[in-house]
Amino acid sequence: MKSNILVLCTGNSCRSQLLHGYLQQLLGDRAAVYSAGVEVHGVNPKAVQVMAEDGIDISQHTSNHVDEYAAVPFAYVLTVCDHAQEVCPVFPAAAQKLHHNFPDPAKATGTPAEVLDQFRAVRDQVKAYAQDVVGTYFAAGAPA
């Protein structure tokens, strides 16, 4: 049976979109991956760009509010920023909650090249985290 995974962030524009993309790629048919925010800010075009650079197309992702998924029985809820963890709604399912606070690349400052470099740095952190999550919770023999 597929596990439902929710990646939760403040605005569902950058960090949650990055992790959604990597988990979807790494898990394929083993899980249904959703992402949402406690607010909705729209998918950040720079997030789409840096994921495309790594071969993952998230251009069709949408920015969704967490309330849209209230009826989905999630096995895992992954928060990727402290704000989302603090205000994360209580889900009726016995979802396992995982948390990792990533810097918000949307708050990056500097030249356009420096901002893009900060997006890439966060993308690379998120990719490593996705690989760790999949290796820990979805490895052969691990409960899904």
- Structural domain span for residue 114: 3-137
Residues annotated catalytic, as ranges: 9, 81, 88
Q: Which residues are bridge partners to 4 per DSSP? A: 32
- In total, the chain counts a number of residues equal to 144
**Which one of 6-15, 77-86, 90-99 scores highest in mean pLDDT?**
6-15
Question: Is residue 126 a part of any domain in this protein?
Answer: yes
> In this predicted model, what pLDDT tens digit does every residue of 20-50 receive, in sequence order?
999 999 999 999 999 999 889 899 999 999 9
Question: Is residue 142 a part of any domain in this protein?
Answer: no
88-124 burial, b for 16+ CB within 10 Å, e for fewer? Answer: beebeeebeebebebebbbebeeeeeebbebbbebbe
Report the predicted TM-score, pTM, of the whole model to 2 decimal places.
Answer: 0.91
Question: Is residue 87 a part of any domain in this protein?
Answer: yes
Evaluate the CA torsion angle 142, 81, 119, 75 in order and state its sign: positive
Cβ pair 13, 79 in contact under 8 A:
no
Question: Is residue 144 a part of any domain in this protein?
Answer: no
The enclosing domain of 94 has a CATH number of: 3.40.50.2300
Specify the number of domains making up the chain.
1
